[in-house]
Structure 1
């Protein structure tokens, strides 16, 4: 196992592609975008002679936590082991090396999105955010908009080429990133990677289209939202039955957001809107005329691992005063084992080692699930994963850890 060197990137990335069943990228532009965001100094490969047989990497992100603060986090990515080299402990060795590295980099949290969720629990990762998807029957569902949506303060929608829209999209994103736990501050290069639109990824739909929502006139106009989407044509004997496939839709205020959704639901020759990644508390659920015909589903999204328990818990705020002692189990990162006293409120927190009696007993995996406010300690206790040792401690922690807005990961990595 060794740190990835730039000249080896193609072979390293080829190992990853083979492990995921084939080519992950097919265009020169997309391949260069993947290469440009790879942090070689934070990536490792396992080599058997001249053959690369396993890969793992980490991106540098700023992770928004409850309270609006940002912690430096390692976005674990590109993890693979060749099918010829399974059951030799390679994955465990890479995870061991990686978490040691993350700690040495001074990052208290590691993140990942799991292709197979069953793999990463044993390394201390817990489900930290969920995502909502929907298949909306727009032949029978309409979108309401605020009463003043078409008045003097109305937003105007305009088609804009992706390259011309990139700066406006990033501006809207940057204004939102600190308002919701789970969102990521990104290094330069991601704004280009996330807008690459290779034809082989379209699955019969059009090229990616962009509509900007703007308020005001001329040079004073401000971009307040955007929608990125494709249209997948479809026909049946009764007429057109196309689908609007939403990539992202975002806005800075309710009027702009509702206006964008109304637009998506009324595109000619379509009768459905498909969207795969929204926050579980997303406002669209309250804009639709019939939520049942929106076919909403929820699934796991971001997995969170506390690498330094004390630093991570002290980096966020808490919705109510809290003073609890956790007995933490963490066999994979033993420096986290033991008792930690968390004290804090909406203004800030501290988390230090203590010899005091424990109030709650749990593993670091459960702390990861609780960290961003998605999962209540009460729910985990009902599954037998958190034990209450002091009466009342469970309710105290559950109220404190909640986030007013649901945590959400806006895109994969």
Structure 2
């Protein structure tokens, strides 16, 4: 990679550069989304939170971030930057331009103190490891055959009234369910600011991707309150003369408790004129224990959310630990030099502190490993067995790993 990144200034865009910004974004992703989607993203990503690179007057790189509150182990949240819209013009690759934009973002978050953690969904994971991002959540991609008898009922799951509702009009009622459950699973985020209702219910030819209109079903309890919901589309298929082979494409499913969650899933897996349901769920989702034949769901593990600690002390002190932790780790972080050094982490289920120290190190690891272990889905011990964490004090790795693990598998339910 060339070292002449200084030749390509990096800064937020001005109002007059908005059209060039989105033209480069769409060109790089080989897409032509409708103008309404551009207007929508302008509401979510303010110009102040964009980043662009220039070759003279030519805009050659794009990026931005969305402020979130990320749920971390312990049912608490930390301020997080959701990185999005990252591109570099094909004619300007391997010139250090992406590195310049990444550094601009990291330094900005650190200096402003507005994000202890950064997250992103990676179209090409190999790119972001060199900037300290590690895969922090996984999902099970499922193909579930139709048939309500294939998914066991649970106590109370047959006591809800299922209703079809307008996705936009019912957004607030459904969002109340989302807000009630998001603190229970690491990786979920609070949708902050205006525009998220429009994102969640966006429905046009571009978002349909050959499927039908966006639908929303809710499970109402005896008091008429929404206890669970799903947003989905059906991809109709009548080519098979023996039977319709439609596919249910699930966007989002949540329930306040197991009964409401399963009530919605039993609806989704028994829709007329369909053959199967396609969805992504957490790796520990109850569905896997309630399907009569789990093998028929064809589960496939996928990497989802990538995590990077911007300020190691704030990020590690912001989460809780499943077992007491008292460990000194040595971190080399050339991309974020303020993180480089030795840190003592002491914490438990009630809170934690992370401070610089000169004490001897117990563990040696890098920012990518911390990002991978941060949400508790992948253990430090597993990283150690892979040679990614070095243990200097016997027993320190196992003890730290027990503290970092999350009882609930992390999951990121929607992309940004």
Would the TM-score normalized by the shorter structure come out above 0.5?
A: yes
2:209 alignment partner, one of 203, 209, 213:
203
Partner of 1:243: 247
Other-structure match for 2:128: 120
12-21 or 194-203: bigger deviation: 194-203
Counterparts of 1:30 and 1:306, CA distance in 2: 30
Structure-2 separation of matches of 1:186 and 1:178: 12
Q: How far 1:273 sits from its partner (Å)?
A: 0.8
Partner of 2:232: 229
Partner SS for 1:262: helix
Corresponding residue of 1:7: 16
Give the one of 25, 38, 62 matched to 1:31: 38
| Other-structure match for 1:322 | 325
Which residue of structure 1 lines up, in the alignment, with residue 266 of structure 2?
262
* SS at 2:181 equivalent: helix
Two-structure CA RMSD over aligned residues (Å): 1.4
Deviations 1:118-176 (A, max 9, x none): 000101111111111101122697111114433xxx11110001121111121111111
> For residues 395 and 203 of structure 1, what CA distance do their matches in structure 2 show?
46
CA distance in 1: counterparts of 2:76 and 2:14, whole angstroms: 34
1:303 aligned counterpart, secondary structure: strand
Q: Distance in 1 between matches of 2:67 and 2:92?
A: 29
Determine helix, strand or coil for the equivalent of 2:125.
Answer: coil
Runs of 5+ unmatched residues, structure 1:
none
Matched residue, 2:144: 136
CA pair 17-290 structure 1, distance change in 2 beyond 3 A: same
**Candidates 29, 35, 40, aligned match of 1:20:** 29
* Corresponding residue number in structure 2 for 1:405: 408
Q: Distance in 2 between matches of 1:323 and 1:162?
A: 48
Matches of 1:86 and 1:204 in 2, distance apart? Answer: 33
Q: How far 1:82 sits from its partner (Å)?
A: 0.4
* 1:41 positional shift: 0.7
SS of match in other structure, 1:60: strand
Q: Hey, what's the Cα distance between the residues in 1 that align with 2:229 and 2:370?
A: 35
2:50 alignment counterpart: 43
Question: What are the within-5 Å matches in structure 2 for residues 13-412 of structure 1?
Answer: 13-23=22-32, 25-26=33-34, 28-106=35-113, 107-138=115-146, 142-150=150-158, 154-188=159-193, 189-216=195-222, 220-235=223-238, 236-275=240-279, 277-412=280-415
Please report how far the alpha carbon of residue 357 of structure 1 lies from its aligned counterpart in structure 2 after TM superposition.
0.9
Q: Matches of 1:232 and 1:139 in 2, distance apart?
A: 17
User: Secondary structure in 2 aligned to 1:162?
Assistant: coil
Q: TM-score, normalised by structure 1?
A: 0.95
Q: Secondary structure in 2 aligned to 1:163?
A: coil
Q: Structure 1 residues 140 and 226 mapped into 2: Cα distance closer, same or farther (>3 Å)?
A: closer
2:6 corresponding residue in structure 1: none
Q: Supply the distance in 2 between the matched residues of 1:63 and 1:172 (Cα, whole angstroms).
A: 17
Please give the per-residue CA displacement for 1:37-67, whole angstroms capped at 9, x wherever unaligned. 1121111211223321111111111111111
SS of 1:118's partner is helix
Aligned length: 404
> 1:4 is paired with a residue of what secondary structure?
coil
Q: 1:373, 1:141 → 2: CA distance?
A: 34
